[in-house]
Amino acid sequence: MAVNPMPEGFRTLTPFLSVRDGAGAVEFYADVFGATLVERHDESGGKVTHALLRIGDSQVMISDETSEHAREHAHEGWSRSPQSLGGSSVTIYTYVPDVDSVFDRAVAAGAKVIERPEDKDWGDRVAGVRDPFGHIWSIATHKRDVPPDRH
């Protein structure tokens, strides 16, 4: 019997976020985005070696940048948090039912405002935040369908 090349519950793309506080990140994403913990592996010192969270219909992986596992790859440029890199070159664009309430929760939980919620020409209402771990999120609610040649 053939094995599915994509494990059950995964989508084609799965972000893997390196952070300085894995336990705090798991808590923040649960509070702000309603993430549920699928699995979590901690080292004896409390560092998160690997956590898998479900946000909506997608999953995201998290690891402390100073976990033993992450340190194995640090010399290759992997597993570095945005703070260690001096910023993030990636924005995670996520759809939620109510951008305004998620934005408010994110800011109340310590995220920095990049852009307040605003209706965009392409039909989404979008806000931008930098979470306490340095990752950038565009939080969106699709409000209306707009033909591609109209935005």
CATH of the domain at 54: 3.30.720.120
In tens, the pLDDT along 30-46 reads 999 999 999 999 998 88
- For residue 33, the enclosing domain spans 11-71
CA distance 43 to 64: 10
Average pLDDT over residues 74-100: 90
81 domain residue, yes or no? no
For residue 109, name the pLDDT band (cuts at 50, 70, 90). Answer: very high
Q: What's the CATH number where 145 sits? A: 3.30.720.110
For residue 69, name the pLDDT band (cuts at 50, 70, 90). Answer: confident
More confident residue, 75 or 34: 34
User: Among residues of the chain, what percentage have pLDDT more than 90?
Assistant: 75
Residues 92 and 56 in one domain: no
Give the DSSP letter of residue 58.
Answer: E
pLDDT score, position 45: 85
Residues 94 and 38 in one domain: no
For residue 66, name the pLDDT band (cuts at 50, 70, 90). Answer: confident
In the block, tokens 């408010």 appear at: 104
**pTM to 2 decimal places:** 0.91
Number of structural domains found in the chain: 2
Residues 62 and 94 in one domain: no
Burial of 52 (0-12, 13-18, 19+ CB in 10 A): buried
2 domain residue, yes or no? no
